[in-house]
A and B are shown apart, each in its own frame.
Chain A
Amino acid sequence: MPMKIKQLSIFLENKSGRLTEVTEVLASAQINISAFSIADTADYGILRMIVSKPEQAEQLLKAKGFSVHITEVIGLVVPNEPGGLHRALQILSSEGISLEYMYAFALSDRATVIIRTEAVEQTITALQKHKMELLKASDIYKV
């Protein structure tokens, strides 16, 4: 399904310079980062990123010795206004779908929310049923 977006998940220890090594790999391969977030604990973190060439980035980072996974996520577009996110979350909640994690970026009148749920396909179907706008994989890699 073209609505599924490939996200890179990278295991990082909390050591200075590690994040720079990741960005360096991507920069030198001319790979663009359109969104990212970091989840952190006391000794390690998980870096999650949407990049322009996910498979190539995965290979390059693996070759550098990083633990990398490609995880499927959804890019949901909501209006950048009060209640914009609320409506989308209500849909998921009423369908009984729980979120694993999410992160967002807003640009002028629209906001994009990257969401990961336990059931990606079911989530896409539910959101489309309610006419919510989803980003195509091909679009977000170019953002």
Chain B
Amino acid sequence: MKWNEHIECMDREQLTKLQNERLSAMVERLYYNVPFYRKQFQKNGIEPGDIKNVDQLRKLPFTTKQDLRDNYPFGLFAVPATDVVRLHASSGTTGKPTVVGYTRKDLDIWSEVMARTLTCAGAGKTDVLHVAYGYGLFTGGLGVHYGAEKVGATVIPMSGGNTQRQLQLMKDFGSTILACTPSYALFLAEAMAEAGMPIESFKLKAGVFGAEPWTEEMRREIESKLKIKAIDIYGLSEVVGPGVASECMDQCGLHVFEDHFIPEIIDPKTLEVLPYGQIGELVFTCVTKEALPLLRYRTRDLTVLNAEKCSCGRTIVRMKKCLGRSDDMLIIRGVNVFPSQIETVLLEMNETKPHYLLIVDRVNNLDVLEVWVEVDGQLFSDEIRKLEELKKIIQHNIESVLGINASVKLVEPKTIERSEGKAKRVIDKRKLT
């Protein structure tokens, strides 16, 4: 099922044409309505009308979270305050909150992309949607809410907290689709078991989970405990909120609703645009929104784009499940290395993720990478031969994924320092002065 088959399955040429028109109009609006962008355009010698197609996107400046903070609260808005019908904001724990605004039309766009997202997860008129994302300034709750109403499902605006009541109503109202963070889904599953409520007494069939990074391992756990299909959804309030991209039932990448949000992948250090298929930082340009249409917004999320048609029939570009944050990137012998890539290698060899540590150093002017892996659980064999084999395989797989060789050291459990339950992943000993 597709909410908007016309767009979601559009051929590339037609879609590019649509993006070109929208981008060109957007750049013009920004030039006249947002002093922040006008100044940057003028500095780079860009006139309204210069930007005619998406290939020219790379000429335009980036927007960062810091820009939003510097222009707090409404400095980047492109419409008069009277046209803004809604504000949302981040919690602002790491500085000033990030404020986002919506016009009436923006809310329609948001409902549209959320309707596509929920339809991707199989939601329709007959479904009962249990929304346990927080309602309020956070975009999660209301974003899913409007989309669910648009597809005609019955919405339960539960918001977060009060687990016992969540379970009771989910059961009594016959909820079929659960929307919350993946960690809360696992929490609910455990609470269900503790309360002695068999999963068979629920009618759940799918869940739309996002707003935080989660692994394939968590997905398997959620799917087996709740007996549902767990769908990964992606969004960030700076772009629109939830509804930027969503997996379909085939679970092979998230379909990016690129008629509204044009994605690019860049090298986070050089800021060069990378071709599809390469890992890098995801950047979005909003081409239809009115109140806060950000240009080349740097998400800091790492992923890979894939323009191949999906088995579900959708042709819009797909992004991989987020692979980590660009802030963690290391450059080793000129190669960009993300700790998450090493994590992927280790996960392939084991059901559970072993603790690991990357130590980068410079010996005789050459970068060297040492990977410490804690030998625990399944990884431990009491035969030297098997442990040595394990070392070689890890080494080989890292080399084939990263293109650089690393020395692997097997260490005892708990050797790698943990701070607040989270392990430290990288020690960079290079003194680059």
Q: Which residues of A contact B (CB under 8 A)?
A: 9, 11-13, 18, 39, 41, 43-44, 46, 48, 65-67, 69, 71, 100-101, 116
Chain B interface residue number, banded: 10 to 19
The CA-CA distance from A46 to B376 in the complex, in Å, is 13
Nearest to B386 among chain A residues (CB) is A100
The answer to whether B413 and A65 touch across the interface, beta carbons within 8 angstroms, is yes
**B381 smallest CB distance to A (angstroms):** 8
Chain A contacts of B380 at CB under 8 A? 9, 11, 67, 69
Chain A contacts of B411 at CB under 8 A? 13, 44
**B137 smallest CB distance to A (angstroms):** 43
**B122 smallest CB distance to A (angstroms):** 43
Query: 4 extra interchain contacts, Cβ-Cβ under 8 A, other than A11-B410, A48-B382?
Result: A13-B415, A46-B387, A71-B382, A101-B383
The CA-CA distance from A44 to B388 in the complex, in Å, is 10
Chain A contacts of B409 at CB under 8 A? 43
Q: CB within 8 A of B388: which of A13, A41, A100?
A: A41
Chain B contacts of A9 at CB under 8 A? 380, 382
Chain B contacts of A46 at CB under 8 A? 382-384, 387
Interface residues as binary, B50-80 with A (CB distance below 8 Å gives 1, 0 otherwise): 0000000000000000000000000000000
**B408 smallest CB distance to A (angstroms):** 10
Question: With A11-B412, A13-B415 in contact, do A67 and B376 touch (Cβ < 8 Å)?
Answer: yes
**B350 smallest CB distance to A (angstroms):** 13
The answer to whether A69 and B414 touch across the interface, beta carbons within 8 angstroms, is no
The answer to whether A67 and B384 touch across the interface, beta carbons within 8 angstroms, is no
> What are 26 A-B contacts with C-beta separation under 8 Å?
A9-B380, A9-B382, A11-B375, A11-B380, A12-B412, A13-B411, A13-B412, A18-B412, A39-B384, A41-B384, A41-B388, A43-B409, A43-B410, A44-B375, A44-B387, A46-B384, A46-B387, A48-B382, A65-B414, A66-B412, A67-B376, A67-B377, A67-B380, A69-B380, A69-B381, A101-B383
The CA-CA distance from A116 to B384 in the complex, in Å, is 13
Q: Which residues of B contact A (CB under 8 A)?
A: 375-377, 380-384, 387-388, 409-415
Nearest to B414 among chain A residues (CB) is A65
**A100 smallest CB distance to B (angstroms):** 6
**B382 smallest CB distance to A (angstroms):** 3
Question: With A11-B412, A13-B411, A44-B410 in contact, do A69 and B384 touch (Cβ < 8 Å)?
Answer: no
The CA-CA distance from A9 to B386 in the complex, in Å, is 14
**B104 smallest CB distance to A (angstroms):** 59
Question: With A11-B375, A41-B388 in contact, do A69 and B382 touch (Cβ < 8 Å)?
Answer: yes
The CA-CA distance from A141 to B159 in the complex, in Å, is 59
- Which of A12, A13, A18 has the most chain B CB atoms inside 10 A of its CB? A13
The CA-CA distance from A101 to B388 in the complex, in Å, is 15
The CA-CA distance from A48 to B415 in the complex, in Å, is 21
**4 cross-chain pairs, A with B, having the tightest CB-CB distances, nearest first:** A9-B382, A65-B414, A67-B380, A71-B382
Nearest to B411 among chain A residues (CB) is A13
Chain A contacts of B382 at CB under 8 A? 9, 46, 48, 69, 71, 116
Chain B contacts of A39 at CB under 8 A? 384
**B143 smallest CB distance to A (angstroms):** 44
Chain B contacts of A101 at CB under 8 A? 383
Chain A contacts of B387 at CB under 8 A? 41, 44, 46
Nearest to B410 among chain A residues (CB) is A44
**B14 smallest CB distance to A (angstroms):** 58
The CA-CA distance from A71 to B382 in the complex, in Å, is 8
**B49 smallest CB distance to A (angstroms):** 64
The answer to whether B413 and A67 touch across the interface, beta carbons within 8 angstroms, is yes
